[in-house]
Chain A
Amino acid sequence: MFDLTGMTALVTGASGGIGSEIAKALAAQGARLAVSGSNAGKLEAFRAELGGDHVALACNLSDGAAVDALVPSAVEALGKVDILVNNAGVTRDNLAMRMKDEEWDTVIRVNLEAAFRLMRAAARPMMKARFGRIVSITSVVGTTGNPGQANYAASKAGLVGMSKAMAQELASRGITVNCVAPGFIRSAMTDVLPEAQKTALLTKIPAGDLGDGADIGAAVVYLASREAGYVTGQTLHVNGGMAMI
């Protein structure tokens, strides 16, 4: 089950906390990867850590032309792209009343527009191949909202709606389009939270613990697998029961 041998995947934001776990999970199931990230040095180090014959493709997702070139580069390097994982995301938190235009624009451009450009580019070869798996990493806050994150919540909710639209457009061609919505995942960001805040957070999570990047990796592997071919337009929430939607 969930064997990805012979399949290829493009993963954005692959050198980050969750992204690296997604990449490791896909590689462990046998997929060959093109890992992408904005920091070429960090990305190359991660590619080396992965081992195997994976490739690193640095890309600045706020640059539309660079984004449009990423899928063709991945096809050139891997021969095809069966799986696209839109994982890269940025935050520019601020209360809406104080939010600057650039803070809004940056988050929408990287989290939503870049994902659209990659999906549009990947859909074409996937249509020809009559097979494809697109998985976008959204967030629990795209559904629940979160003060200080109007831009981020909008971008993540946008990914869900966009995925549902494209799922309907592409279903007849064997292409599925889904989302994975992490809750609170252990990361550099949550490590630095004060103990009191952590305790308060945990009272809202029935599972009583933060999630791990590997929990997200496993969800992505499932949606990327051949076995999940009848699942499309869905959002798989991975949040320890924090929000049940």
Chain B
Amino acid sequence: MSETADRVKKIVVEHLGVEAEKVTEDASFIDDLGADSLDIVELVMAFEEEFGVEIPDDAAEKITTVKDAITYIDENQG
């Protein structure tokens, strides 16, 4: 597992208060992890802070699973 994946999963566990084993790469934030739209905003802001990336709104809309977040961050981290 990549370092990015570890850090992303840690943030998801902390913010959504879910068990670590539920946070698989295919897990959908809304459908599988019980997030609402405000949770998504919080997660995106937390990713931006943790990784120093900027995630514009149109990109954020496409991030629906844990894997989407990891991929976006890996591709856009400066």
Contacts and interface: CB of A to CB of B under 8 A. Distances in A.
Summarize B's interface: helix, strand, loop or mixed.
Answer: helix
Given A169-B38, A173-B38, 7 more contacts: A124-B45, A127-B38, A127-B42, A128-B42, A170-B38, A172-B36, A172-B38
A124 B42 CA distance: 8
Interface of A: 124, 127-128, 169-170, 172-173
Summarize A's interface: helix, strand, loop or mixed.
Answer: helix
A207 to B, nearest CB: 41
The residue in B36, B38, B45 that gathers the most chain A C-beta atoms within 10 A of its C-beta is: B38
Interface of B: 36, 38, 42, 45
5 contacts: A124-B45, A128-B42, A169-B38, A170-B38, A172-B38
Contacts of B36: 172
Contacts of A172: 36, 38
B29 to A, nearest CB: 16
Contacts of B45: 124
A68 to B, nearest CB: 15
The 7 closest A-B pairs by CB, nearest first: A127-B42, A172-B38, A173-B38, A124-B45, A169-B38, A127-B38, A172-B36
B77 to A, nearest CB: 22
Contacts of B42: 127-128
A128 B38 CA distance: 11
B34 to A, nearest CB: 13
A169 B41 CA distance: 11
Contacts of B38: 127, 169-170, 172-173
A47 B45 CA distance: 34
A124 B44 CA distance: 12
Nearest to B37: A169
Contacts of A124: 45
A88 to B, nearest CB: 27
A20 B42 CA distance: 34
A7 to B, nearest CB: 22
A128 B42 CA distance: 8
A67 B19 CA distance: 39
A30 B36 CA distance: 35
A9 to B, nearest CB: 23
Nearest to A173: B38
Contacts of A173: 38
Nearest to B41: A127
A173 B38 CA distance: 9
Nearest to B15: A128
A172 B39 CA distance: 11
Nearest to B42: A127
A127 B36 CA distance: 13
A173 B42 CA distance: 11
